[in-house]
Amino acid sequence: MHTLYDKLWQSHVVHEESNKPDGMTLLYIDRHLVHEVTSPQAFEGLKLAGRKPWRLDSILAVADHNVPTTRRDYGISDPISRLQVETLDQNCEELGITEFRMNDLRQGIVHVIGPEQGATLPGMTVVCGDSHTSTHGAFACLAFGIGTSEVEHVLATQCLLLKKAKTMRVAIEGHLGHGITAKDIALALIGEIGTAGGTGYAIEFAGSAIRELSMEARMTLCNMAIEAGARAGMVGVDDTTVDYLRGRPFAPKGDLWDKAVVYWRTLKSDEGASFDKTISLDAAQIKPQITWGTSPEMVAAIDGKVPDPSQITDIVKRHDMERALKYMGLAPNTPISEIRPDKIFIGSCTNARIEDLRIAAKVVKGRHIASNIKLAMVVPGSGLVKHQAEQEGLDKIFREAGFEWREPGCSMCLAMNDDRLESGERCASTSNRNFEGRQGPGGRTHLVSPGMAAAAAVAGHFVDVREIY
C-alpha cells in the first residue's frame, strides 16, 4: 500500500546516492516551467559551463512577474524589469525553448498557464523557480518550487538531487458551507498548523470536501501548501481531474489519451496507506477567513477579533504579534469586520482563474465599490482567462462596479511591476502572502478569498460574504 507521494517519487527515481531511506536521490523531472525572475543566472551558468538544455520539449517559459497590467502596447517602462523580460526572450530564442511572449493570448501567470494548456499532467514531476509550483499538485503531480541553482541543474541534467519528504494527509471531511472556498480551507489549515506546520512534508489533501472541489479550487489549495511550509501539495486523480484536462492543447490525444487516463486513475493513495502525519478538519466548521497580521498563520474568521498579545505567554510569539499589529496599524480586540481596506486586489496564482472571477463578479454585480476604496483591480491569471471572462461579460460587471480590468500577470501579489500599495495602505487581497512589504513597502495585506475581497470592496470594510450572496 502506497501513498500518492510514494508512487510519484518511486516512478521518477534515477539513482540513489545512498541506500538509506533519507539519502539524496536523483529524481527525473518531466516538466520545467520557467519565468523571467529566477532563470537568467541559471541560463548564464549553463552557457558559461558550455552546457545545453537536456530536453527542450520539457520546458515552457513565460514572463509574468515583471509584466505591466496596463497598456501592454507601450512595453515595459522600468528599464531593469524590461531587461529581465528581454533576457528571458533572448535565452528562449537562442536555445529553442517554447515561450509565450507578453502579447501572446496564452501569456499569464506560470501556475495558471501550465494547467490551462495541459502542460501539467497527472503523474508528472513539475518544477519551476517559484515556490507556488505546489499549485500543480492539484493534478496528482509531484510539483515543487526550486532555486536558481536547481533551475540550472534541471536544464543541464533533467534531474534534481532531492531528499524524500515525510507525508502528511490533510483530510477535509463533510461539505463546505455556502460561500466558503478553497482559500478559506487553506487559511484555516495554516491557522491551525502554522506556517512551519508542513515543513519537511508533502501534503496530500483528501476527504469528501476535496472530492467536491473543482480543479480551480484544488489549485488554490495546493498553491497555499507552501504557506503551510510544505514544498508540495497534491490531490489524487478523479473524474474532475480527467474532465479538466480533456482537449487541452498539450494534453495527449486519441489512443494516447485513453492510455494515459488508465494510468492516471491509479494516481491516488491506496486505501489504508500510512502517512507520517494526519490532520483532520471538519468542512462544515470552516468560516470565511481573513489574515490580520504579517504571516499567513495570523488569521481569524470574519466574526472574530484581532488577537491581544498580552494574552500570549510565549515571549517570541508575543513579540512577533506585537510587531505584526504595529506594522498592520491594528489595535488588539478590534472586530475583524471593522477593518477598512483602501485597495482591493483580485488576482495572483492563488485566485485568478475563471471560477475565482465568476465568484467575485457575482458578489459585485449591480453594486458599486464603497467610497473609501481608492482602487479595486481585477488581474486575470492569463490572457485566456481574461478572454473567457470577457465572453461571459464579467469584465463589464467589474467595470460597472468601479473595478479596473487589467492585463494578466503576477501584479500586486508581489509588486514587482508598477502595481503596488503605498506605505500604510491596507489591501483586501486574494493573493498568498501578507509579509511585511510584500505588496509594496509599508503596505498592509489582508489575505481573503475572491468573494470576501469583492464583498469588502462593496461594503468598504470586511464583511461576511455569506450575507451578500
Partner 1 sequence: MAPLDRANVDTDAIIPKQFLKSIKRSGFGQNLFDEWRYLDHGEPGMDAARRKPNPDFILNLARYQGAQILLARSNFGCGSSREHAPWALQDYGFQVVIAPSFADIFFNNCFKIGLLPIVLDVADVDQLFTEVEATAGYRLLVDLQDQSVTTPSGKSFSFDIDPFRKHTLLNGLDEIGLTLQHMDKIKAFEEKHRAAQPWLFT
Contact positions with partner 1 (CB under 8 A) in 306-335? 316-317, 319-320, 323
Q: Which is nearer to partner 1, 230 or 369 (CB)?
A: 230
Residues 35-94 that bind partner 1 (CB under 8 A): 37-38, 40-41, 44-45, 49, 51, 54-55, 57, 65-66, 78, 80-81, 83-84, 87
> What's the distance, CA 421 to chain centroid?
20
Least distance in Å: CB of 466 to partner 1?
Answer: 31
Least distance in Å: CB of 367 to partner 1?
Answer: 33
Window 111-130: contact mask with partner 1 (x via CB under 8 A): ----------x-xx----xx
Window 135-154: contact mask with partner 1 (x via CB under 8 A): ---------xxxxxxx-xx-
Least distance in Å: CB of 195 to partner 1?
Answer: 6
Least distance in Å: CB of 130 to partner 1?
Answer: 6
- Residue 438 lies near partner 1 (rule: CB under 8 A): yes
Candidates 19-27, 104-112, 392-400, 451-459; binding stretch for partner 1 (CB under 8 A)? 19-27
Instruction: Residue count of the chain, please give it.
Output: 469
Least distance in Å: CB of 66 to partner 1?
Answer: 7
Nearest to 346 by CA among 451, 217, 433: 451
Q: Which is nearer to partner 1, 317 or 399 (CB)?
A: 317
Nearest to 108 by CA among 120, 97, 121, 99: 99
Say which amino acid occupies 187: L
Residues 244-273 that bind partner 1 (CB under 8 A): 251-252, 256-257, 259-260, 263
Contact 422, 330 (CB under 8 A): no
Q: How many CB atoms lie within 10 A of CB 335?
A: 14
- Name which position in 105, 196, 284, 331 contacts partner 1 (CB under 8 A): 196
- Residue 158 lies near partner 1 (rule: CB under 8 A): yes
- Name which position in 2, 10, 23, 70 contacts partner 1 (CB under 8 A): 23
Q: Which is nearer to partner 1, 59 or 454 (CB)?
A: 59
Q: Which is nearer to partner 1, 15 or 175 (CB)?
A: 15
Residues 270-309 that bind partner 1 (CB under 8 A): 295
Residues 408-437 that bind partner 1 (CB under 8 A): 414-416, 433, 435-437
Residues 344-383 that bind partner 1 (CB under 8 A): none
Least distance in Å: CB of 151 to partner 1?
Answer: 9
Q: Which is nearer to partner 1, 54 or 469 (CB)?
A: 54
Q: Which is nearer to partner 1, 136 or 386 (CB)?
A: 136
Site size for partner 1 (CB under 8 A)? 83
Least distance in Å: CB of 408 to partner 1?
Answer: 19
Residue 37 φ/ψ, nearest 5 degrees: -80, -40
The angle at the Cα of 102, spanning 101 to 105, to the nearest 5 degrees, equals 85
Least distance in Å: CB of 461 to partner 1?
Answer: 27
- Name which position in 2, 10, 15, 393 contacts partner 1 (CB under 8 A): 15
Q: Which is nearer to partner 1, 166 or 358 (CB)?
A: 166
* Residue that has been written with the C-alpha cell 468601479 in this structure: 402
- Name which position in 137, 229, 288, 347 contacts partner 1 (CB under 8 A): 229
Least distance in Å: CB of 244 to partner 1?
Answer: 16
Q: Which is nearer to partner 1, 279 or 370 (CB)?
A: 279
